Amino acid sequence: MPSRNIPSVRLRRIGSALRKAREDSGLTIDTACRRYGRSKSWLSTLENGLHPIDPQELADLLNFYEIPEGPLRESLLHLATHDPSRNWERIRQGRISAAALDLASLEEDAELIRNFEPSVVPGLLQTPDYSRALMAVGPARPLRNTGALVAFRMARQKVLARPDPPRYLTVISESVLHHPVGGPDLMRAQLRRLYEAGQADHVALHVLPKSTSAYLWLAGPFHLLSLRPPGRLTVSVVEQFTKSLFVEDEKEIALHEEIFSLLLHASMDQDASRKLIERLASGL
């Protein structure tokens, strides 16, 4: 029977990945259950994040779907064995890592995405050239694959173009608009991309102006992702140097939401933000 408890974010993450693996295998839920030898209700509750799964059974199910060794498999098995009362961390690497897969999965499952970016353009709104210019700098990493990372980031952006997109609410520091990443032509194209994105009904872009820069001390870059039913869940993803911290604790989430509200309140409205971006793009 499904658990009466509200599912945790990690169970939703596992369930979403299992559903995608089944669909990628071309299997209906009925066919998958018949071949795997378990009931439809069992698999349905797993895919909806309503019931935990034993790590060994999860490994068997991943084998059934032919999921190879790699970040996805490691990520899911880690979540299945992780203490559900604690948050979880992910190392960010110069390749498509568990951190990137976790974030992308949560974005796909989200009803509302809130994002604060004090230093760079949000990943969901970057142009390929802007992403590539950012990834060209940083500590030397033998495993860095810039082409794959840029392609993965662009694939993430498809979530905002689908027929039922999440609502996307982002606050960016005005300084982001002035940082000359990649030169004038690249920045002009990036600012135009921001302006165009802000026209969509489901995208709300707000600029935190220089006059309220004191608010920048409140937080570094972070995401608040509120997942779709069943069960309304919110997770905060906090960027920490080479790590991403996935926060589930309700009190911490409430504090992060309060901080985001303060940043939003101190920001320009959508119309003023778009006009500023358009003016800067024209001046380059």
Cβ-Cβ contacts under 8 Å for 6 (sequence gap 6 or more): 231, 233
Distance between CA atoms of 267 and 272, rounded to whole angstroms?
Answer: 10
Angle subtended at Cα 223 by Cα 221 and Cα 224, rounded to the nearest 5 degrees? 145
Banded model confidence at residue 1, pLDDT cuts 50, 70, 90 = very low
Distance between CA atoms of 256 and 223, rounded to whole angstroms?
Answer: 9
* 166-193 per-position pLDDT tens digit: 999 999 999 999 999 999 999 999 999 9
Average confidence score pLDDT of the chain: 90
pLDDT at 70: 86
* 117-168 per-position pLDDT tens digit: 999 999 999 999 999 999 888 776 656 788 989 999 999 999 999 999 999 9
Give the whole-number percent of the chain exceeding pLDDT 90.
65
Assess whether pLDDT exceeds 70 at residue 30: yes
- Taking Cα atoms as reference points, which of 110, 144, 175 lies closest to residue 242? 144
Task: For 204, list phi and psi in degrees, rounded to 5.
Answer: -120, 110
pLDDT at 3: 41
Domains of the chain, start order: 1-85 (1.10.260.40), 87-283 (3.30.870.10)
Contact 237, 83 (CB under 8 A): no
